[in-house]
């Protein structure tokens, strides 16, 4: 009897909170970064310096996230827009602004990315360089950028998207067009990881890719490379799983495969980061948002259940500034806040998965 009374009083006490969550949300709710602390998971997001001027943008970034990563501003074309013959080939402005923001708000910074086939400046793409020259350009680039951010950027996506879906090497200027003269297969990747380690021995070095979440030909190829690198002491610290997905990922087989895949990489002693999570939709009906929320929760749980999964990062946080509509025709609504900076069901789902 007494217990029931107590329960009734408790319900009365909770009643108004349940009825109007908004009234108490702003000040007393746990943020994502707080919720993740118990699991020692870093909650990151991609960001852009020009958006820091939007008050809602910077307020959410500073309070909800414990890590940021430049969405574009540390890519080759952005940070090294002019040839090395120019008096100042580099432009660190955007990256520096992001680093300063992160430091002010007690966030760590992840670097993205040193070796990629996209976002290359015209002077490099059209320069007609030989392998030897390209090797020198890339080595110097890696050294300059990593030394500039030494002790500020704790981890780098050294190489991004070097494999095709079938596990073969992607044909790029760094591999074979004309390449850097390091040799066949994953030799050039090994070479750049060694350069990166020389440039900043304290940075954690990652290989990052998309559609390698499940066990498939691409993730098999990455796994074989990682195993080989670990065996031979090539300085590889972890793998980034981009995790750009859609609702069709909400399939028990796919989810189980993602978990198993992470597990096999973790057994190699590697750190695992989910680096670019977003879940694109083809409309923003309530059902879609609810399905999206569920999937955000499940992906979060996969990270929570795998201790080497140390970073859970979304590719932006507001639908106002997501890359999806531009790159996937007819799709969007992929992130945790809507385009008016209102929290979506996906936000709540991610947080409650972190609170478990
Ligand atoms: C995307 C950015 O979000 C866009 O703003 C830019 O125009 C193109 O690149 N995989 C990656 C990211 O590793 O760097 C890409 O970012 C998205 C896919």
Calculate how far, in angstroms, residue 46's C-alpha sits from the geometric centre of ligand 1: 10
The answer to whether residues 345 and 291 touch, using CB atoms and an 8 Å cutoff, is no
Taking the centre of ligand 1 as the mean of its atom positions, its distance from the CA of residue 356, in whole angstroms, is: 31
* Contact present, 61 and 45 (Cβ < 8 Å): yes
322 close to ligand 1 (CB < 6 Angstrom): no
Ligand 1 atom 7, closest CA: 323
Instruction: Name the helix (H) or strand (E) containing 21.
Output: helix 21-28
Q: Which of 64, 71, 73, 161 is catalytic?
A: 161
Which of these, 191, 180, 260, lies nearest to 223 by C-alpha position? 260
209 backbone φψ class: left, alpha, beta (φ>0; ψ -120 to 50): beta
d(CA 220, CA 291): 29
Side-chain half-sphere exposure of 304, counting CA atoms within 13 A: 18
pLDDT at 25: 43
pLDDT of residue 22: 40
Task: State if residue 246 touches ligand 1 by the CB under 6 angstroms criterion.
Answer: no
CA of 276 relative to ligand 1 center, distance in Å: 9
Residue in the structure block whose two tokens are 């290989």: 207
Tell me which residue has its CA closest to atom 12 in ligand 1. Answer: 71
Catalytic, out of 71, 190, 271, 276: 276
**Straight-line distance from the first to the last Cα atom of the chain, in angstroms, rounded to the nearest whole number:** 31
Ligand 1 pocket member 261 (CB < 6 A): no
Cα–ligand 1 centroid distance for 6 (angstroms): 54
Mapped onto helix, strand or coil, the DSSP state of residue 104 is helix
Which of 317, 318, 327 to probe ligand 1 with, by most ligand atoms within 8 A of CB? 327
Q: Decide: 42 and 310 in contact? Cβ < 8 Å.
A: yes
Which has the closest alpha carbon to 214: 171, 247, 245, 169? 245
- Cis? peptide before 113, omega within 30° of 0: yes
Q: Report phi then psi at 124, rounded to 5.
A: -85, -45
As averages over each run of 10 residues, the pLDDT of the chain (356 residues) reads 48 40 55 97 98 98 98 99 98 98 98 98 98 98 98 98 98 98 98 98 98 98 99 98 98 98 98 99 98 98 97 98 98 98 98 96
CA-nearest residue, atom 9 of ligand 1: 72
Tokens standing for residue 18: 């349940």
Tell me if residue 337 falls in helix, strand or coil.
strand
CA dihedral over 18, 22, 28, 33, signed as positive or negative: positive
Q: Say yes or no: CB of residue 71 within 6 Å of ligand 1.
A: yes
226 SS3 class: helix
Q: How far apart are CA 184 and CA 237, in angstroms?
A: 22
User: Does 242 sit in the ligand 1 pocket, CB within 6 Å?
Assistant: yes
> In angstroms, rounded to a whole number, what is the distance separating the alpha carbons of residues 323 and 65?
19
Radius of gyration for the alpha carbons in the chain, expressed in angstroms and rounded? 22
Nearest to 160 by CA among 99, 216, 241: 241
Of ligand 1's atoms, which has the minimum distance to the CA of residue 160? 13
Which parts of the chain are beta strand (E)? 42-47, 67-70, 108-115, 153-160, 204-209, 238-241, 244-246, 271-280, 309-314
Q: CB neighbours of 80 closer than 8 A, spacing ≥ 6? A: 89, 90, 91, 121, 141, 144, 145
Whole-number pLDDT of residue 15: 38
Both tokens assigned to 97: 């602004």
What is the CATH superfamily name and number for domain 3-14+27-355?
Glycosidases (3.20.20.80)
Q: How far is the CA of 227 from the centre of ligand 1 (A)?
A: 28
CA of 296 to the centre of ligand 1 (A): 20
Integer Cα distance of 324 and 278 in angstroms = 9
Is 161 noted as a catalytic residue in this protein? yes
What pTM does this model have? Answer: 0.93
User: Is the CB–ligand 1 distance for residue 323 below 6 Å?
Assistant: yes
Residue appearing with tokens 């118990």: 38
> 72 CB less than 6 Å from ligand 1?
yes
Q: What value, to the nearest 5°, has the Cα angle with vertex 125 and ends 123 and 127?
A: 55
CB distance 317 to 60 below 8 Å: yes
Residue whose entry in the numeric block shows the structure tokens 């300059």: 144
| pLDDT the model gives residue 17 | 36
């Amino acid at each position: 009897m007494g217990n029931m009374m107590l329960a009734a009083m408790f319900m009365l006490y909770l009643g108004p909170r349940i009825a109007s969550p908004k009234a108490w949300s702003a000040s007393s709710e746990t943020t994502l970064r707080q919720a993740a602390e118990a699991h020692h998971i870093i909650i990151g997001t991609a960001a852009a310096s020009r958006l820091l001027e939007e008050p809602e943008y910077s307020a959410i970034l500073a309070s909800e996230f414990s890590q940021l990563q430049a969405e574009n501003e540390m890519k080759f074309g952005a940070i090294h827009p002019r040839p090395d013959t120019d008096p100042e080939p580099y432009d660190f402005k955007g990256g520096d602004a992001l680093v300063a923001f992160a430091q002010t708000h007690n966030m760590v910074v992840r670097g993205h990315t040193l070796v990629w086939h996209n976002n290359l400046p015209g002077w490099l793409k059209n320069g007609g360089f030989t392998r030897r020259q390209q090797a020198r350009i890339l080595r110097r680039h890696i050294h300059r950028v990593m030394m500039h951010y030494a002790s500020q950027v704790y981890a780098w996506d050294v190489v991004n998207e070097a494999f095709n879906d079938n596990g073969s090497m992607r044909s790029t200027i760094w591999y074979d067009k004309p390449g850097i003269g390091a040799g066949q297969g994953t030799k050039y990747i090994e070479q750049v990881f060694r350069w990166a380690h020389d440039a900043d021995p304290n940075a954690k070095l990652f290989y990052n890719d998309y559609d390698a979440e499940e066990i498939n030909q691409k993730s098999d190829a990455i796994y074989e490379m990682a195993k080989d690198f670990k065996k031979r002491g090539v300085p590889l610290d972890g793998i980034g799983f981009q995790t750009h997905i859609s609702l069709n990922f909400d399939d028990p087989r796919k989810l189980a495969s993602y978990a198993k895949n992470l597990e096999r990489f973790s057994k190699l002693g590697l750190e695992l980061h989910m680096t670019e999570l977003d879940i694109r939709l083809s409309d923003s009906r309530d059902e879609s948002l609810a399905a999206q929320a569920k999937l955000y929760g499940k992906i979060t749980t996969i990270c929570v259940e795998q201790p080497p999964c140390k970073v859970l990062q979304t590719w932006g946080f507001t639908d106002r500034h997501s890359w999806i509509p531009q790159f996937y025709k007819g799709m969007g609504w992929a992130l945790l806040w809507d385009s008016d900076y209102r929290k979506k069901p996906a936000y709540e789902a991610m947080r409650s998965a972190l609170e478990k």
